[in-house]
Amino acid sequence: MTITVPTSEPTKTGRSARTSGRAAKLGALALTETRLLTRDWTLLVFAFLFPPFTMLVLAGVFGSDPDDGFAMRRPDDYYVAASTGVSVIALALIGLPVALASYRERGVLRRFEAFGISTARVVAAQAAVTWGLILLAVALVLAVAAPTYGIPAFEHPWQVLLGFVAGSGTLVLLGVAIGLAVPTARAAQAIGLMTFFPLYLLGGGGPPRTVMTSTMRSISDALPSVIPAIVDPWIGIAPVGDHLIALAAWAAVALAAILWLTRRPRS
Q: Shortest gap between Cβ of 255 and another protein (angstroms)? A: 24
Indicate the residue among 112 and 154 with the shorter CB distance to another protein.
112
From residue 183, alpha-carbon distances to 101, 178, 256 in Å are 7, 10, 19
Which residues sit at the interface with another protein, rule CB under 8 A? 1-3, 5-6, 21, 24-25, 28-29, 32, 35-36, 39-40, 102-103, 106-108, 110-111, 113-117, 265-267
Closest approach of another protein to the CB of residue 49, in Å: 20
Nearer to another protein, 15 or 194 (CB): 15
Classify the phi-psi angles of 71: left when phi > 0, otherwise alpha if psi is within -120 to 50, otherwise beta: left
Nearer to another protein, 5 or 215 (CB): 5
Shorter beta-carbon distance to another protein: residue 30 or 89: 30
- Number of alpha carbons in the 13 Å side-chain half-sphere of residue 267: 2
76 CB-side CA count, 13 A: 18
Nearer to another protein by Cβ, of 89 and 122: the residue is 122
81: nearest Cα among 221, 238, 220: 238
Query: Is 68 or 115 the residue whose CB approaches another protein more closely?
Result: 115
Nearest distance in Å: CB 182, another protein: 18
Least distance from C-beta 122 to another protein, angstroms? 11
* Closer residue to another protein in complex, CB, 59/122: 122
Shortest distance, position 134 Cβ to another protein, whole Å: 21
Report H helices in the chain: 12-38, 41-44, 50-62, 75-90, 96-105, 108-114, 119-148, 157-181, 185-202, 214-222, 226-235, 241-263
- Residue 69: DSSP 8-state: G
Euclidean distance between CA atoms 37 and 105, whole angstroms: 17
Q: How far is the CB of 18 from another protein (least distance, A)?
A: 10
Using alpha carbons, select from 196, 46, 28 the residue that is nearest to residue 128.
28
DSSP, res 223: S
The least CB distance from residue 32 to another protein, in Å, is 5
Sign of dihedral through CA atoms 170, 41, 140, 77?
negative
Question: Are the C-beta atoms of residues 251 and 173 closer than 8 Å to each other?
Answer: yes
The number of CA neighbours under 13 Å toward the Cβ of 72 is: 2
CB of 41 or CB of 147, closer to another protein: 41
Q: Under DSSP, is residue 73 helix (H, G, I), strand (E, B) or coil?
A: strand
Q: How far is the CB of 168 from another protein (least distance, A)?
A: 24
